[in-house]
Amino acid sequence: MSEKINRERRMILERATFGVAAMELAFGNPTVSQATAASAPASGLRRLEPLKHVDAGVLNIGYYEEGPADGPVVMLLHGFPYDVHSYVDVVPLLTAKGCRAIVPYLRGYGPTRFRDRSTPRSGDQAAMGADVIALMDAIDVKRAVFCGYDWGGRGACVAAALWPERCAGLVSVNGYNIIDISRANIPAKPEREAAIWYQYYFHGERGRAGLTTYRKEIGRLLWKQWSPKWSFDEATFERTAAAYDNPDYVDIVVHSYRHRFGLAEGDPQYAALEQRLAALPPIQAPAITLDGDSDGVIPASDGKAAAPRFKGPRIHRIVPGAGHNLPQEAPEAFAGAILELVRGNS
C-alpha cells in the first residue's frame, strides 16, 4: 500500500482535535482524499451478534452494542436495502478508541417488530427520527453522535434537527437528508429520474407485488447499481438479505416511497413532527457530511446546496471509490469522521 494512503489513514484516525476539522471548514478542503473503498478491511462473514432487544416507543428493537458502557455513544443507522452489517467494519474502529457503538435494525428489518398489531406500518421520515430517540430513552442514553446513510441518514438528520439537545454530532452521507415533500413532485433531470426507478415502481401495486416476490433480487440489483465499484460476494449479500424477511418489510418500504411523494397518508401520531419537518429545520450540531464519488443513485457534490441547513460547524468530503453504502465500502473514512466529532466533544 502506498505511503500516501498510509499517511491519509493516520490523518483520519489520529487527528487530535476538532479544531483541525474547524480549520478545514473555515479555509476550505471539500474533497479530502481518504482511504478508498478498495482498501477497506475485509469483513469476512463476521456477524454483529449477539443482539439485544428492548421495547422502545412503538417498536421492540433488535440492536447490536459494543464498547465501554461509559464511552461516548455513537448511533449507527443503516439504510434501504441494507442492515446493521453495513457497520461490521466501522464498529471495531470506534470501540478501539473507546466509543460505545449502538447499531439498531430499523423498523421493518431483521428482528425489530411492532409491539401492537394495530400500529400503522409507516415509513414516515418523522418516524425514523422518533425511533432513534425512543431507543435512546429506552437504554438511558442522553446524547449521542448520530450517523447514517440513506434511510439511516434521514433518521439521523431528523433526530438531530428535532431533538438538538440529544445530538452530540452528525455524520450523514449525502448531506441534509430531510425530504421537502412539498417539492417532491418537481421533476429532476432525466438521468436523475432514471436512477430512482425503484421509487416509482413502488408507487403502484405491481411494485408492491414485485417487492414481495423478488425482495432479494431487487436488493441485489440496487446494491450493484448504487455501488458499481464495490465487489461484494454472495455471502456478504445473503448476510444482509436475511433482514428483508421481516413481516413488515414490504409494507414499510412501499409506504416510505409513497409518503415522500405525497401519495400516502402518514401515521397520525407523527403528524406534528412532519409539520415541523416541512419547514426544513436546521441542524445545530457539528456535522461532517460525506459523498461517495461512485454513488450510483445520488451523485457526489460539493455540498454547497445543503450548507444553509447546517448552523453548526460542518465539513463536507468526497470519499474516493465509495458508492451509496459508504460505511461498508469505506469504513475507515466513515469511522474517521465520527472520531473527529467525538474528539471535538471531548
What are the residue ranges spanned by the domains of the chain? 3-345
- The DSSP bridge pattern shows strands 59-66 and 113-114 to be antiparallel
pLDDT in tens, 194-237: 999 999 999 999 999 999 999 999 999 999 999 999 999 999 99
309 has pLDDT over 80: yes
124 has pLDDT over 80: yes
153 backbone φψ class: left, alpha, beta (φ>0; ψ -120 to 50):
alpha
Predicted local distance difference test score (pLDDT) of residue 151: 98
Predicted local distance difference test score (pLDDT) of residue 345: 84
Do residues 167 and 281 touch, judged by C-beta distance below 8 A? Answer: no
Predicted local distance difference test score (pLDDT) of residue 346: 72
Query: In terms of pLDDT, which residue wins out, 133 or 5?
Result: 133
Q: Name the H helices within the chain.
A: 3-14, 18-27, 90-95, 125-138, 150-162, 190-195, 197-201, 205-213, 215-226, 234-241, 249-259, 271-278, 326-329, 331-345
Predicted local distance difference test score (pLDDT) of residue 250: 98
pLDDT > 90 fraction of the chain, expressed in percent and rounded: 86
pLDDT in tens, 104-120: 999 999 999 999 999 99
pLDDT in tens, 147-173: 999 999 999 999 999 999 999 999 999
Partners of residue 316 on adjacent β-strands: 289
Predicted local distance difference test score (pLDDT) of residue 35: 37
Predicted local distance difference test score (pLDDT) of residue 162: 98
pLDDT in tens, 39-80: 344 445 899 999 999 999 999 999 999 999 999 999 999 999
pLDDT in tens, 321-344: 999 999 999 999 999 999 999 998
Position 283 confidence tier, pLDDT thresholds 50, 70, 90: very high
Q: Which fold does the domain 3-345 belong to in CATH?
A: Rossmann fold (3.40.50)
In angstroms, the CA 308 to CA 304 distance is 8
Q: Provide the 10 A C-beta neighbour count for residue 210.
A: 17
